[in-house]
Amino acid sequence: MTSDPQANPATDQVADKQQTPLLEIDHVTRRFERKPDFAAKLAARLGAPINRRTVHAVDDASFAIHRREVVGLVGESGCGKSTLGRIVAGIDNPTEGRILYNGQDVAHVSSRDIDQFHLKIQMIFQDPLDSLNPRYRIGKSVSEAARYHKVVPELEMDAHIEKVLLQCGVDPATQNRFPHQFSGGQRQRIGIARALAVRPEMVVCDEAVASLDVSIQAQIINLFMDLRDEYDLAYLFVSHDIGVVRHISDRVVVMYLGRIVEQGSTAELFARPNHPYTQALLGQVPSLKRRHSSFHTIKGEIPSPLKPPSGCHFHPRCPHAMDICRQARPPLKNVASGHMAACHLNDQS
């Protein structure tokens, strides 16, 4: 089942883009705030300075995911990519902004229908063992939600679960076993089966292959691709692994310290990265072709999200930093068709 680029001609994609996206993230911000407790309030009354620690985990992020599309969300630790993934999956809520599913604002869905919306977007987690209830036999883990939400009639449930397990490469005869009796790769397959059992339209993969062995990673990536063909799934693929993201994604969104700095089609982005951070990050694609290389690394560390630098967050590490970078946040601008970047260097041209 080689995915054939010919099967998806450019004209189709243009037509696709004009439809309502499956999912739209519209100016989403997520702040984590440590609210002052009683003692802190009392201390403040007595004149102690209030230490309000606010983290902008996600700062005004917007992008869309279309049906059958794989969007890679990349960035380093603390860039907010996992938080954004959790918001999309409905586990966390945005402080500001909207999540539109099929054009409908999820926040305004009636409480009766909200479950159906949540089911349409499922999530695969980084740690397959921790994501399975250790006291559930895996058959129950996979079938519980499908049964509760009556995804298929009860009479067909066993057959449905068996089919999903088989598709994910799990022997249905092992349904009575507990998670600890499986290997890491098998557990991840079980997690995927659990998500698929409720018939989602979109799957958020949060570092879903990061904890797996190299040879198992390839198996799981292939499984993701097969399932997309089978079910027309869209993926939000959250990962720090540039190699995996380049392989699997149609489009890539790059985040740095809570902000989207660049997004565009995978081919375009890797061929012509615009933002200096993207250039540095994509320069680190792991490959066997780079040997005994002398490194051109970007300097410095990722700043603390508690005290992000002013203006463009990247300016302290940026080789092209100018005065304006320290003062103003660069807006996301189109640099080519479907390719946007947030960098003041683009203002000049």
Q: Cα 141 to chain center, whole Å?
A: 23
Closest approach of Cβ 310 to another protein, in Å?
Answer: 20
Cβ closest to another protein, residue 56 vs residue 228 = 228
Q: How far is CA 230 from the centre of its chain?
A: 21
Q: Smallest gap, in angstroms, from Cβ of residue 349 to another protein?
A: 26
In the bound state with another protein, the residue whose beta carbon lies nearer, of 297 and 348, is 297
Give me the half-sphere count of Cα atoms (radius 13 Å) on the Cβ side of residue 332: 18
In angstroms, the CA 143 to CA 157 distance is: 8
Structure tokens at 276: 């200096």
The residue type of 83 is: T
Contact between residue 73 and residue 253 where contact means Cβ atoms under 8 Å apart? yes
Q: In the structure encoding, which two tokens stand for residue 294, read together?
A: 């002398």
User: In angstroms, what is the minimal distance from the CB of 313 to another protein?
Assistant: 14
For 176, other C-beta atoms within 10 Å of its C-beta total 10
What is the C-alpha to C-alpha distance for residues 104 and 21, in angstroms, rounded to an integer?
10
**Half-sphere exposure of 32 toward its Cβ, with a 13 Å CA cutoff?**
11
From the CB of 123, what's the least distance to another protein, in Å? 5
The sign of the torsion formed by the CA atoms of 140, 143, 147, 148 equals positive
- In the bound complex, what is the minimum distance in angstroms from residue 273's beta carbon to another protein? 14
The values of phi and psi at residue 35, to 5°, are -70, 140
Closer residue to another protein (CB): 287 or 334: 287
In the complex with another protein, the residue whose CB is nearer, 45 or 292, is: 292
CA gap 199, 227 in Å, rounded: 11
Least Å distance between CB 11 and another protein? 18
Q: Which is nearer to another protein, 297 or 349 (CB)?
A: 297
- CA-CA distance, 30 to 36, in Å (whole number)? 19
At residue 70, the 3 state secondary structure works out as strand
Cβ proximity to another protein: between 51 and 222 the closer is 222
- Crossing angle (nearest 10°) for helices 184-196 and 214-231: 10
Q: How near is the Cβ of 246 to another protein at its closest, in Å?
A: 6
Name which of 98 and 246 has its Cβ closer to another protein: 246
The residue among 60 and 92 lying less far from another protein, judged by its C-beta, is: 92
What is the nearest approach in angstroms of another protein to the Cβ of residue 141?
8
Q: Which is nearer to another protein, 145 or 324 (CB)?
A: 145
Instruction: Give me the least distance between CB of 156 and another protein, in Å please.
Output: 19
Closest CA to 138 of 99, 100, 177: 177
Give residue 245's identity as a one-letter amino acid code: V
User: How far is Cα 306 from Cα 99, in angstroms, rounded to an integer?
Assistant: 25
